[in-house]
Amino acid sequence: NLNTGILKEGDNEKRVSMVPSVAEKLIGKGYKISVEAGAGAKSGIPDAAYEAVGCSVTSRNAVVSSSELLFAINPPPEQDLGGMAGKMLVAWVGRRLPEGEKYVKAAQDAKVTLVDTTSVPRITIAQKMDVLSSQAKCAGHRAVLEGAYSFERFYQGEITAAGKYPPCHTMVLGIGVAGLAAMGTSSALGSVVRAWDVRDVSDQVKSMGGKWITVDFKEDGAGAGGYAKESSKEFQEAQKATFHKHCKEVDIVISTAAIPGRKSPVLIEEYMVKDMKPGSVIVDLAAAGGGNCTLTKSGEKYTTENGVTIVGYTDLAGRMGEQASSMYATNMMHMVNHVTGKEGASAFLSNIEKALADEKGDIVVKSIICCKDGKPV
């Protein structure tokens, strides 16, 4: 048995790192799970649902003190780390970002073994553990629904006794996981979709039924590890002229462009928004990183003087509380199963030790462990 704890998130988070259906499977593999009271409440999961599958529900102190392995989404406050010495804490640390780096140092000083769920390598076998993908999928889907809610017209084309109405047109910028999800949901609602990314992913766009936007300038935007790299000044000018034209034509813009560890690239400027049709909507998924649109206000939704609504919510995955939690928990289950293989919970901690000690040890383990026994990994 491995004593495993699920922590309740802070006030601004609706998600939870474990859901009952996944907890039940883990319990079957020997994990003994205690859940902090109220942990699932904001995702619509009552304490009783955890108890019904065999988890115990108790206070935060009891969860922390009784567990060797702790799960959270947002890293718990740094002052809590002292009480977690010698334990393993698994959370969305973002170790490559300045805040994450600082948190790793604090965990290291507190002798907590810290696991960063965002550091899963982008290789095929690790896809099922990748929280960046699962949460981006939720965010991309939700972005379209937030856009549709603010757009006070039909998405699909309509021919009715009260008039004929064309379908709405959507432009998706940045076709990673969130962008593809946004394309899928937009098309499903009946919108006509066009899309662009700095990497040539025209095949993926076409396979989703979208039209690939072409910028009249050649440059390869692909960087290392499947991510994008920064583009040249000349390219950015050609790109702006293209976006300006498309902004005038479309009703909805969903922007998701991101470069890991960098400020969000600016793709839509004030003059482009001024030329958009009244009633159109921009949903800027990059709001937390500064936004792809210069007018985005992080965490807010507002309407400009010319009637364009700009949605800058930074909690889009959290707005899909239960769904995003289920996907996160499933990623966590795949992660522990990856470490233990067929052996079950009792092998979890020792297999991590083995992987770290071996020069050719498991690449996933080596990528996600930030620090152990007061030392960086």
**Counting contacts by CB under 6 A, is residue 198 touching ligand NAD?**
yes
Q: Which residues pair with 194 in a beta bridge?
A: 171, 211
Residue 161 CB contacts under 8 Å (≥ 6 apart), including other chains: none
By beta-carbon proximity to ligand NAD, the closer residue of 158 and 362 is: 362
Q: Which residues participate in catalysis according to the annotation? A: 122, 127, 130, 133, 227
**Counting contacts by CB under 6 A, is residue 247 touching ligand NAD?**
no
**Counting contacts by CB under 6 A, is residue 119 touching ligand NAD?**
no
Q: Which of 267, 273, 324, 329 is in the footprint of ligand NAD by CB under 6 A?
A: 267
**Counting contacts by CB under 6 A, is residue 197 touching ligand NAD?**
yes
Give CA–CA dist 336/338, Å, rounded: 5
Residue with nearest beta carbon to ligand NAD: 176
Interface segment toward ligand NAD; rule CB under 6 A; list 42-50, 227-235, 294-302, 308-316: 227-235
**Counting contacts by CB under 6 A, is residue 257 touching ligand NAD?**
yes
**Counting contacts by CB under 6 A, is residue 91 touching ligand NAD?**
no
By beta-carbon proximity to ligand NAD, the closer residue of 108 and 231 is: 231
Give which of 328, 329, 348 is closest to 339, Cα–Cα. 348
| Phi, psi torsion values for 370, nearest 5 degrees | -90, -40
Cβ at position 265, least distance to ligand NAD in Å: 4
Q: Which residues pair with 371 in a beta bridge?
A: 114, 376
| Residue reference for tokens 């553990």 | 129
**Counting contacts by CB under 6 A, is residue 256 touching ligand NAD?**
yes
Q: What angle do CA 284, 327, 12 make, to 5 degrees?
A: 55
**Counting contacts by CB under 6 A, is residue 36 touching ligand NAD?**
no
Give CA–CA dist 287/311, Å, rounded: 9
Rounded to the nearest angstrom, the gap between the alpha carbon of residue 182 and the centroid of all alpha carbons in its chain is 13
Which DSSP helix (H) or strand (E) runs through 69?
A: strand 69-71
Q: Which of 265, 312, 318, 321 is in the footprint of ligand NAD by CB under 6 A?
A: 265
Cα–Cα distances (Å) from 156 to 88, 174, 195, 225, 309, in that order, read 49, 23, 18, 37, 20
Cβ at position 212, least distance to ligand NAD in Å: 12
Q: For binding to ligand NAD (CB under 6 A), which residues are involved?
A: 122-124, 126-127, 130, 132-133, 136, 173-179, 197-199, 226-228, 231, 256-260, 265, 267
